[in-house]
Amino acid sequence: MPAVAATSALPAAAAASGARLVQCRRRCVAPRSVASADSSSLADAAVLQGGTTPRRQHQQAQQQPQQRRRWHRAQSSAPAAAEPAGRLDLRSLGLKQLVELACGGDQLEPRHALAVLHALSWELKQQRQRGAPPPLPDQALPRLFAALQRGCGELQVRDLVLMLQLCTRLRARPPQALLDAAAQQLCHRLPAEAPAQSVTAVWMLTRLGHQAGVSSLLAAIDAQVQRQVPSSQAPAGAEQQQEQQQHHMAAAAGQPEQDQQHERQHHVAQQLQQQLSSRDESTAPPPAWLAQLPPLLLVHLLWVCGKAGYRSVPLLCGICAALLHSAEAARPAMGGAPAPLAGLDGKLLAMVWYSLGLLQWAPGPEFVKHAALQARAALPTFTSQGLSNAAWALPRLAPLPAADGLAAALAAAAAPRLAEFSNQELGMLLVALSQRGGPASWRPVAVPQLYEAAGEQLAVRAPRLGERDLCSMLSALVTAGHRPSDAALAAVAARAETLLPDRLPPASLAWLLWSFAHLRAQPPRSLLRRAEAALRGPQLLALYAVDGADVARLCWALAELKYYSGALLADLSAVLRSMWERLPAQSMTLALRSFALQNFTPHDLLDVAAEHLAAHLDDSYDPHSVALSMWAFGRLGVHPGRGLPSGGLCTPEGVPLLEAVAAYALRHVGLPEEPAGGSQPAATAAAPAEASEGRGAFTLQGLSMLLWSFATLEHHPGTALLQATGKRFVAALPHQQGAAAADVAGLSTGGPTGSGGSGDPGGGDAAGVAAAPECAACLRSVSQAAWAFAKFGYADEAFFLALVEQVDHLPLKDSSPEEAPQSLTSLAYAAAKLRVGAAPALLRGLLPPAQQHMQGFNSEEVCQLLWALAAVGGLGGAVQAHAPLLDAAAARLAADLARGGAGVDPRLLCMAVHALAELQYRCDDSLLAGCVRAVAAAGADVPVSLLAKLLWGCAHVGHVPEAGVLEGITADLYYRLSHRRGNRTVLQVPDLVLLLWALAALGQYTTQLYRNVAFRATRLPEGVPEAPRLRRLLREATVLHSCEYRLDPVAAEAAAAILPAWMAGQAAAAAEAAQQGAAAQQQQQAEAPWLLKPAAPPVQAPLPTRDGSGAPPAERRAEAEAVCTALLRSGMRASLKQLSYGDYIVAVEKPGSQPGSQAGSGSDSDDGSSDESSGGGGRRRQRGPKLACAVVPASPATGRAAYNKPSCLLGSALVAQRVLAARELPAVPGTGGETEVVKRSKAALRRGGSD
């Protein structure tokens, strides 16, 4: 220890205390003064605190013992006469004696107290080297500090700097008053005298945490530097004043402190870059004050500026210029050619980058290039702290073209050394390299080996990590897109459970659960239950102090993890409700989406959310946030203006909220530019105006979600928006080929270090599809848009035509099992509902993926798909589904019914039975019986129209429900249709006709319901029904009734009365024309009795080109003619007959019968109705050749036989078979091909001959 002695007589008490401690070993010598005793203290402190190059440290280590030996020899040879009386030698005092001396330090003079403080520092250093030193008494240092404070003005500048150094070595913080006095003295005397000591002083003040002194001393240093900067090089501007003004303005506007700080830093960084754009510090000479500083102190000064946030452009530029021009900084430590900054070791280079990151300021490209080059070269010498600090700085400085590749190099260098990193350093490194977003759009560094090694470290360290490090490491890995191992996730969950409920604050818990949700990794339910207990217990009040973004992130995580707790969600909604005025738009949107996903309706929060949206629609909400907010209202079924007058909420301009949202969407719809010479509709001419507002355009998914919410809320957004949306999709769909479909349903929740985007909603990043990736329009967006068009009744032919053209390129087959069924159903439903011309082609393209994903369909989706297929059949382009698809659909319905049918809507069952019948599909009787029972059990919940379709569907395929069930349904229908009881049930004409036909086909002639419906049918006005198919059904019901209902002599006349009067007149005219045609045919047969010709076209009211049975009349006639020709070729006597309602049969005569004039034998009209009515009128029946049987031509091609069971007759073929049975004429089903028909007809002839 160097000998340090007082230079004057000590007070009596101190001298007595010193005498009691120990006697001097030698005579008093003339020691160095306090200032000279520490002639190398500044250099020693610089070496200890800042570090030097390895070569310099080695030289100093060799020189220190030699210097101490020379000093001792000089002291021992000094003459004793030079020693004044009363001096005390402190060289031989031990730590205990020095402490006792310091305890009486309040009576010492300042320079004596400084001498004792220096001796204590040296002795404690020696004790630390030998082992742990004993703690100092509480009163030792305070008394020394008190003595120094009394005479702070008497100390020299070097003594003041030494005092700060000693306090740093002792890890003792002096009183604030002492630091204030020392800083004031240094500011007045130091900068102009000694630059090196100025930098050392401000360095020590920074380490002691005296911010006021640091700012004052930096301002004094800055003034010295600016005096030496030429006026032409000094950039103009008062950055600090502007920053303070912006801070006060933002605080007055109620902006969150975190956002204020981010915006201030970004603004200052931009301003500094603009000021530096006109100069290059590598070419300008540094100020003389800075040029005389060594590189170590220059780096220290830059670090101090960063810690203090002191952004003075002249000072920062001068420091960088001095480092570039420093010959010592350019001299490599281990040899090699000199280069700028080559003399800085890894520690100093890390400090340079860290300081620049603190300032959020990047020097000119020359300095950045050399700093990055030397950093990459010195990476092996970087410490773990240096690597993490340098990596932390790079995202804050981006973009840095001159430093490209430095982040990847840092990550590659750190990957094999992660075991050396402390928990804080590892978390800092991962957060820096994995963060995304920010003003410079920093993206995670793709170094897989780093994240793999970090995942392994997380698994090892998790049981010992604190809450901050645990959350930062996991969330950083998630943000980088790396999934840790299951073992690591299990260790994190176990550690989180041990930290709950007191040591894991709500903000950290939000990030932790966000990470699990983002990874789609389900944590243990015990962790979620403990989290709920903590949030609803000891940490409930702390939630109100948490940032709103973290509360919204917590809600999103609970929704994604599917953890529902009504009490917890109510508490979270109350917290968000309390901070709604200062809640950012993105956080409000994220919270609403989370509650909507949980189907939890927080009415109070929704009310204030609507007010928030109305107040900040144009200034805070971007298109994606608007779409997700409206989607949440639609999902929860809550109108934004509930409980308010018809106008609802209004914007500050007085526009109703929903109208304002529609206008906002029209402005941001993002229509592509019109080609040259093209004309844009006036309604959408202002649509691309979003570029001027700087908020971007809606994504395709955003537009579809917005239209979906409008449709759900039953608010028409206007044709202009629908038209613009359709054009946007039409422009994007052709680019779908070759692009991967992007699922952007949710709101990006953002990474732990990024600003985030929706999804999260949404979310991965649900920022939507940008301009280039927009071509990857996801299937869900297209299907939602089509569904919304259908709800608004907007038939956009161009939209559906584009879908048909691109249906092969839509991600239908590769979609997830959860998404594909709903999307396929929505597309099919919309096309059929709007009856667009492209509907048949679109459904043909949707059938293969529908069959592939049929196992993922639920009952509702199955029924809607079947309904769409059946509805398209009436558009002139029937779509026949594949039998395996219908088999799978029927099996799915049967499985749901077998489980009790609790989750099956009876109304959907009615639609399914009707649709399957329309599609010529014959279900199993067990499925039909189950559907009828389920509908009957629902009672009045099923509308009358659907009950009519159910009965028609059963009757059309020949299924007769159970007597009791059918009686219950008919009784309920009669009760609801009877006006005598005050009911006002309206039965539409199509449903009336279907119900009448079904009751006739089911033989319900005697029921009250049949009489009610028949009475209604007779009152239909002229021209109603308009559809030819409905007229034909009425005729079929009339004929069937007249043939089968024979309870009294006037039954035939009563049966004919079920036709409307105007249709009955047409039927009479047709019968008279048929009689005339029969007479002509009789004459032809008399001339050539055995020459049978095909029947002439019927003379009656023209039938439609397509009647809905699957084939036009010409095809049915051709089918009957083919059967007749086949029978003639086989040697049987056959003739073609046409029934009055337009159906065709082939009559087969018995062998050996004589030709005659049997009723209908010489006429093409032979259904029995005319004969029965003639008999009722007293006319005599004529006798003719006996008929053995009649063939009813039926095949799936004409819709008269089941598609899946060709032997089963359907619809009109069943009626024809029943009519022939009523005439006691054997009916032969014309199914199974020509050979089978001939075989059956010959068998009928044999049976007829035997009879």
Residues 911-934 pLDDT 10s: 999 999 988 899 899 999 999 999
- 1251 versus 997: which is more confidently predicted? 997
Q: What is the mean pLDDT of residues 829-843?
A: 91
**Residue 342 dihedral angles phi and psi, to the nearest 5°:** -70, -20
Cβ atoms of 2 and 37 within 8 Å: the answer is yes
The listed range with the strongest mean pLDDT (1150-1164, 1175-1189, 1218-1232) is: 1218-1232
**pLDDT value of position 984:** 65
pLDDT band at 1073 (very low <50, low <70, confident <90, very high): low
pLDDT at 1107: 44
pLDDT for the residue numbered 638: 92
Give the H or E element holding residue 1138.
Answer: strand 1134-1138
Among 115-119, 893-897, 1067-1071, name the most confident range. 893-897
Q: What is the pLDDT of residue 693?
A: 43
pLDDT at 626: 95
CA separation for the pair 778, 758 (Å, rounded): 16
Q: Residue 1060: which pLDDT band, with cuts at 50, 70 and 90?
A: low
The predicted pLDDT at position 752 comes to: 33
Token digits for 1124?
A: 């007749």
Q: Does the structure show a pLDDT above 80 at 98?
A: no
Per-position DSSP letters for 1019-1084, written without gaps between them: TPPTT-S-SHHHHHHHHHHHHHHHHH--SSTTHHHHHHTTS-HHHHHHHHHHHHHHHHHHHHHHHH
pLDDT band at 797 (very low <50, low <70, confident <90, very high): very high
pLDDT score, position 33: 35
Which residues are bridge partners to 1187 per DSSP?
A: 1149
Q: Report, as an integer, the average pLDDT of 1229-1246.
A: 85
Rounded average pLDDT over 96-106: 69
Mean pLDDT of 691-716: 83
Q: What is the DSSP string of 90-130?
A: -TT--HHHHHHHHHTGGGS-HHHHHHHHHHHHHHHHHHHHH
Over residues 1054-1059, the mean pLDDT reads: 53
∠ CA 414-418-422, rounded to 5° = 115
Confidence of residue 328 (pLDDT cuts 50, 70, 90): confident
Average pLDDT over residues 789-808: 92
Give the count of alpha carbons within 13 A of 837, CB side only. 4
- Highest mean pLDDT pick, 232-246, 441-455, 587-601, 899-913: 587-601
Predicted local confidence at residue 1236, as pLDDT? 87
Lowest mean pLDDT among 381-385, 644-648, 1158-1162, 1190-1194: 1158-1162
When mean pLDDT is compared over 282-296, 847-861, 869-883, the highest value belongs to 847-861
Pairing state between β 1144-1149 and 1187-1193: antiparallel
Res 1025: pLDDT: 79
Structure-model confidence comparison of residues 159 and 770, the more confident one: 159
Q: How many CA atoms lie within 13 A of 990 on its CB side?
A: 8
Q: From CA 447, how far away is CA 485, in angstroms rounded?
A: 17
Lowest mean pLDDT among 466-470, 484-488, 1196-1200: 1196-1200
Check pLDDT > 90 for residue 858.
no
Average pLDDT of the chain to the nearest whole number: 76
Residue whose structure tokens are 């700012």: 215
Name the residue with higher pLDDT: 75 or 1129.
1129
What span, in angstroms and rounded, lies between the C-alpha atoms of 920 and 184? 99
Quote the CA–CA distance of 78 and 323 in Å, as a whole number. Answer: 44
pLDDT score of 851? 86
> Is the per-residue pLDDT at 305 higher than 50?
yes
What's the average model confidence in pLDDT over 597-624?
Answer: 93
pLDDT of residue 362: 87
pLDDT classification of 675: cutoffs 50, 70, 90: low
Strands 1144-1149 and 1227-1230 turn out to be: unpaired
Compute the distance between CA of residue 107 and CA of residue 112 in angstroms, rounded to an integer.
10
- Residues forming a β-bridge with 1146: 1136, 1191
Percent residues over pLDDT 70 in the chain: 70
Residue 442 has pLDDT above 80, yes or no: no
In this predicted structure, the answer to whether residue 161 has a pLDDT above a threshold of 70 is yes
**Helix/strand/coil percentages in the chain, nearest 5:** 60, 5, 35
Percentage of the chain lying above the pLDDT 90 cut: 35
- Per-residue pLDDT, 785: 94
pLDDT of residue 452: 93
Q: Please choose, from the candidates 792, 777, 691, the residue with its C-alpha nearest in 3D space to the C-alpha of residue 742.
A: 777
Greatest alpha-carbon pair distance for the chain in Å reads 171
| 1192 backbone dihedrals φ, ψ, rounded to 5° | -100, 100
Residue 226 Cα to chain centre, angstroms = 53
Cβ atoms of 3 and 89 closer than 8 Å: yes
Average pLDDT on 517-541 reads 93
Contact 1245, 1151 (CB under 8 A): yes
Q: Is 700 helix (H, G, I), strand (E, B) or coil?
A: helix
Instruction: List pLDDT tens digits, range 254-299.
Output: 444 444 444 554 454 455 444 444 444 445 788 889 988 999 999 9
Task: Pick 1174 or 1154 by higher pLDDT.
Answer: 1154
| Positive or negative torsion for Cα 948, 952, 954, 960 | positive
Q: How confident is the model at residue 138 (pLDDT cuts 50, 70, 90)?
A: low
pLDDT of residue 134: 67
Mean pLDDT of 1117-1134: 88
Rounded average pLDDT over 836-858:
88
Interval 940-975: pLDDT, tens: 889 999 999 999 999 999 999 999 999 999 999 988
pLDDT of residue 875: 54
